[in-house]
Structure 1
Amino acid sequence: MSRSERSPLLLAGLLAGAGVAHFAVPRQFDAIVPKGLPGSARAWTYASGAAELALAAGLALPRTRRPAALAAAAFFVGVFPANVKMAVDWRHRPAPLRNAALARLPLQVPLVLWARGVAKNTEAQA
């Protein structure tokens, strides 16, 4: 299997793992839901977990891969405020935790680019 064939499946695996985690250990995700959003933090945690699982399924299927990859790129941009909130909230935590929260911020860029690359490669293969 070539790298371009593995890439969407690896991204799907990453999203599936994150989606499952939202349901398995929701409290850690509840804590980073921005307070300005309407409704409960748990509802947003479950909704984002379901979205990640749906994106993973879409990426796994060649027929839906391109729109799912574009939606994943948008999703990664959309969850960035939660990562900012986590970095702000964790600024007084011990250095390893604080650094982990800060490291998440620039990691959104490669995730967006990865998803866009999957969309582009899928288009080129069609």
Structure 2
Amino acid sequence: MTAAATETSTLRDVLRWLLGGVLLAAGVSHLTTQRDEFQAQVPDWFPVGDDLVVIVSGVVEISLGLALIALPRHRAIVGTIAAAFFVVIFPGNIAQWVEGTDAFGLDTDTKRFARLFFQPVLVAWALFSTGAWTYLRRVAAR
């Protein structure tokens, strides 16, 4: 392995662990201290109860966080699932902006709108840090 490849691998590992930690912390906060804030983000039109959505998404985040850290052999698949999760929850962020819901200090339309641009960053983070982009290109080429 070249020095550049080793540096890239180390950077990806650090970013993967960091993303895993962020997901773990967010998932735990779904179930504990930030439960009301997360409930405020569930769109009014969503046909499932706010609390159930928050509990399930918290469990999913904890699971993804643990998998990113503890299953390095399966990192590309876990990264793909994490990226898909970030895409699936994006309508909640859009709804928060459109409905003008205050949560997590996002108390203006400008702040809520600006937050929308961070979701693609999370998707890219999941795909890059796990090597999922390369994995998905290989799968698509078959």
Give TM-score scaled by structure 1 length.
Answer: 0.84
2:102 aligned with 1:102, yes or no?
no
Once residues 23 and 111 of structure 2 are traced to their aligned partners in structure 1, the CA distance between those partners, rounded to angstroms, is: 19
Structure 1: distance between partners of 2:50 and 2:101: 21
Q: 2:130 aligned with 1:119, yes or no? A: yes
Aligned to 1:18: 26
Take 2:51 and 2:120, find their aligned partners in 1: how far apart are those partners? 26
CA contact (8 A) 1:59 1:66 kept: no
Give the 4+ runs in structure 1 shifted more than 3 A. Answer: 121-124
> SS state of the match for residue 34, structure 1?
coil
Flag structure 2 segments of 5+ consecutive residues without an equivalent. 1-8, 136-142
Alignment of 1:22-101 (within 5 A): 22-24=30-32, 25-60=34-69, 61-90=71-100, 97-98=107-108, 99-101=110-112
Instruction: Quickly say closer, same or farther: Cα 1:7–1:78, change in 2 above 3 A.
Output: same
- Bigger-Rg structure (1/2): 2
- Is the CA contact 2:80–2:132 (under 8 Å) kept in the aligned structure 1? no
Aligned residues: 123
> Residues 76-101 of structure 1: CA distance to partner in whole angstroms, max 9, x if unpaired?
00010000111122279xxx622332
The alpha carbon displacement at 1:23 in A equals: 0.7
Letter of the 1:20 counterpart: V
RMSD between superposed Cα atoms in Å: 2.6
